[in-house]
């Protein structure tokens, strides 16, 4: 399957070492199967005056021998996991984490939740209102990285 990674540089050899900490699924190499999402993210780089490159890779469909954690929706399990990751308390030893990350609307809601301005129930209600899931695969391990090759 084709996956996309938007960056300010061309990424010939993906790794997990150049990732920022405290992201939705912790540090790792984030990719998406949604070309439009990659383009939209590139536009954000450009608006901020940065270079933007959409790196394209082929990712192996067979991940059965990897430890994969999947979130199919913005739900309580997802919210708890993202809360832990953003606080620097990464859970588990996953090769790949698959699911939604915070778009601008969800990001604002999470900020309110993390600051204690709204409770978990209100945060979940705001996140599950009709919005499209911003889909990513976050590759956390060298074993996981071995499944993608530059197109």
- Is 74 within 8 Å of 127 (Cβ atoms)? yes
pLDDT of residue 127: 75
How many domains, the chain? 1
- Is 133 within 8 Å of 75 (Cβ atoms)? no
Tokens of 120: 């978990």
Type and span of the H or E element at 77: helix 76-86
pLDDT of residue 47: 96
SS3 string of 91-139?
CCCCCEEEEEECCHHHHHHHHHHHCCCCCHHHHHHHHHCCCCCEEEEEE
Average pLDDT per block of 10 residues along the chain, 151 residues long: 95 90 87 91 94 96 90 87 86 87 75 90 76 68 87 84
pLDDT of residue 2: 94
Provide the domain limits for residue 37. 2-150
pLDDT of residue 138: 78
Instruction: Give the burial string for 90-123 (b: 16+ CB within 10 Å, else e).
Output: beeebbbbbbbbbeeebeebbeebeeeebeeeeb
């Amino acid at each position: 399957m084709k996956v996309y990674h938007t960056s300010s540089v061309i990424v010939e050899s993906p790794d997990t070492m150049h990732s920022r900490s405290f992201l939705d699924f912790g540090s790792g190499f984030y990719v998406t199967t949604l070309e439009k999402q990659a383009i939209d993210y590139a536009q954000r780089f450009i608006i901020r005056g940065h270079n933007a490159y959409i790196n394209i890779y082929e990712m192996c469909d067979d991940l059965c021998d990897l430890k994969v954690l999947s979130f199919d929706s913005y739900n309580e399990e997802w919210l708890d996991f993202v809360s832990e990751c953003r606080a620097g308390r990464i859970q588990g030893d996953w090769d790949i984490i698959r699911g939604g990350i915070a778009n601008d609307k969800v990001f604002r809601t999470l900020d309110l939740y993390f600051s204690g301005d709204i409770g978990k129930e209100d945060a979940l209600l705001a996140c599950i209102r009709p919005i499209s899931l911003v889909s990513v695969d976050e590759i956390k391990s060298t074993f996981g990285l071995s499944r993608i090759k530059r197109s």
